[in-house]
Structure formats: C-alpha cells, structure tokens
Amino acid sequence: MTKKIKNLKEFSLSNDRYEGANLMCPGCSHNIIVREVLNATNDPVIVATATGCLEVCTAVYPKTSWDVSWIHIGFENAAVAIATAQAAYEVLKRKGRLPEATKKMLEEGREPKFVAFAGDGGTYDIGFQSLSGAFERGHNFMYVCLDNEVYANTGGQRSSSTPIGASTTTSPAGTVSYGEKMMKKSMVEIMSDHGAPYVAQVSPSKWKDLVKKVQKGFEVNGPVYINAQSACTTEWKHAPEDTIEVSDLGVESCVWPLYEIINERDEHGIIYNTKLNITYRPKNKIPVEEYLAAQPRFKHLFKPENRHIIDLWQKAVDTKWEHLQRREEAGV
C-alpha cells in the first residue's frame, strides 16, 4: 500500500528509521536522499549498502544510524547482496520459516522492501558487474545510486560518473589540463536497456518527484534503478547550506534531467512497450554555466583557455535534453 504524503513538514517528521545525526559531512545529499527513500513507504525496509561514505559514516561499531535491517559486504556487491536477501525471503516465505513478526506483517498484507544504496563508484565502476547480473536475472529489489560523480570516500578521485572538466584528485586541472576528459556514463539508459521495468533519475531538491518515483518503483515487481543526484560539499566544494540550491541548478539547467523509463514486460522479461516520461520541465532552462559556476570543482573552466569546455558541456546537455524530449514524444 502506498504511503500518503501531504506536505514536506509532515514528511520530514515521519522518519524514525534512519538517524541523520551521523558522521556524514554537513550538507551531504546522501543523508537527504536516504531519508526521502526510506520515508516513501511505511513497509519494513531491508537495506544493503556498498562501501562508501554512506557505509563508513552510518555504521561504525558499536553504533548505527539504521533502524532497519542493514548489510554491508563490500564495495562491489550491494546489488547481489540485496537481490539474494530478497531471494532468501521468497524461499523462507514459501517454506513457512520467516520470523514470527514477519509472518504477521504478511498477514496484514504488507511486504518488506529490499533496497540497495551505492555511490557512483559502487555502481558505474566496480559494482557494475554485480548490478548488471542482478538486473538481468530480474530480482525484485530497488537499487539507488547516490551519484556524487566522484570517489568522495577515498578523497575525491575520478570515477566513470565524473563529468567532463571536473577537477578531481586523479583528474586534476593544471597548467596544461582542464581536468576530466570524458563525459559521464549514461547509467539510466544502460540500466533501462537491461530490461528493468522501472528506471528513473531523481534529485533530492525535487522531493515530491523523488518520492513519487520511489513509490512507483516499490509497486513494481522486478529490479528498479534510481539514479539520484547527490551533491557533495567536500568534492563539489560548495557551501553546506547550498546543497539543495546547487542540486536545483542541475535540474533547472537540464544537466540533471528528471525522467523515468517504464519497460512494460511480462514475467519472462519480454518487453512489449517502453515509455519515457520527462517528469519535470524547467519553465526557463538556465545555462549550464550557472550550474558550473556554483561549484568550485569547475572553477578553472572559467579561464579563457578552458571556456570551450563549457561550450562542450552546454552542447552535451542540449543534445541529451533534445533526445529525451524526442523519446518522450515518440513514446519509445
């Protein structure tokens, strides 16, 4: 049953499953996103987390921020962990061996939700094999990528999610370099092409849109991928109080378009209809420059010799936005 949410105040007060007072940096989007996801349902949630900021800051023995069952195995296996925990749940349900309280919950018509959280390193890079495998096999779980476009936990190295021009500790801007040379992977499309029934991109700044998509995902039977924009105060180098504003600049400039892809499919994974919906359309699409200017990781791009990278950025964003609109119009 879908949880009804009236307003932000009520929404912000309802969470008692994840303690925000943890070791995360002030202004970290990870905390905001995790609370928004866990808040989207009243059903019990079982969580797997990849190695990363979220893991090392929220479960340092003998303390934990989590009042839901939680597991961390390694950097590269959050997807298979949550998928097999869900598979174990199905087996034990069938065999009548679930814990008593869980059986009782089932009688009330409720089922636990299985969610994996991982950063872009654990998703786009080292965790991709396990993620791809779990999606191909069609396990019933939700995978949320907390995409801060950098290996923040290890000190800001580039990942395959780091966008062009970003200065990171392993793609630093210097006298002869403007920083990262490649545009980021198109993870949403890659996961949709796995045949996932539901894939969406979200931003914590548009919380209603995020919650709606998470709720849709929870209703779906099969693997769900949510790509969440996660502004990082430490590596994007903006002020903690600007997190939501920076996130919003990403959305309003269409650097981070909000959309969903629904693959209607049967139980064998045969897709007979694919639909892409843009779920937020900026009234006045702002230039990419405004998004980049708000983040010192791109500061060097504003030097005369690097201005052409901003032009490239704008072109890449415009092309993608155009492509999304065409797909939406064409219904594919």
Binding residues for other proteins (CB under 8 A): 44, 46, 48, 55-56, 59-62, 64, 66-74, 76-77, 80-85, 87-92, 94-95, 97-102, 105, 112, 129-130, 132-133, 136-137
Dig out the tokens for 157 from the structure. 């190295």
Min dist CB 224 to other proteins, Å, is 18
222: left (phi over 0), alpha (psi -120 to 50) or beta: left
Min dist. Cβ of residue 96 to other proteins (A)? 10
For other proteins, give the closer residue by CB, 79 or 294.
79
- In angstroms, the CA 324 to CA 22 distance is 38
Least Cβ distance, residue 193 to other proteins (angstroms): 16
Helix (H) or strand (E) holding 271: strand 271-278
Question: Rounded to the nearest whole angstrom, what is the least distance from the CB of residue 11 to other proteins in the complex?
Answer: 21
Q: What Cα–Cα distance (Å) separates residue 260 from each residue in 27, 217, 316? A: 26, 10, 20
Q: For 179, phi and psi rounded to 5 degrees?
A: 105, -150
Least distance CB 222 / other proteins (angstroms): 15
Identity of the residue, 81 or 211, whose beta carbon is nearer to other proteins in the bound complex? 81
Rounded Cα distance, 144 and 85, in Å: 16
Nearer to other proteins, 25 or 68 (CB): 68
Question: How far is Cα 196 from Cα 224, in angstroms, rounded to an integer?
Answer: 6
The nearer residue to other proteins, 48 or 292, going by C-beta atoms, is 48
Contact 202, 279 (CB under 8 A): no
| Measured distance CA(255)–CA(295) in Å, rounded | 13
What is the smallest separation between the CB atom of 266 and other proteins, expressed in angstroms? 21
Q: How far is the CB of 217 from other proteins (least distance, A)?
A: 20
The span from the CA of 79 to the CA of 71, in Å, is: 11
Residue burial 134-169, b: 16+ Cβ < 10 Å; e: rest = bbeebbbbbbbbbbbbbbbbeebbbbebbbbbbbbe
105 vs 312 by CB, closer to other proteins:
105
Measured from the CB atom, the residue of 71 and 183 that comes closer to other proteins is: 71
Q: Which residue's CB is nearer to other proteins, number 91 or number 332?
A: 91
83 and 112 Cβ atoms separated by less than 8 Å: no
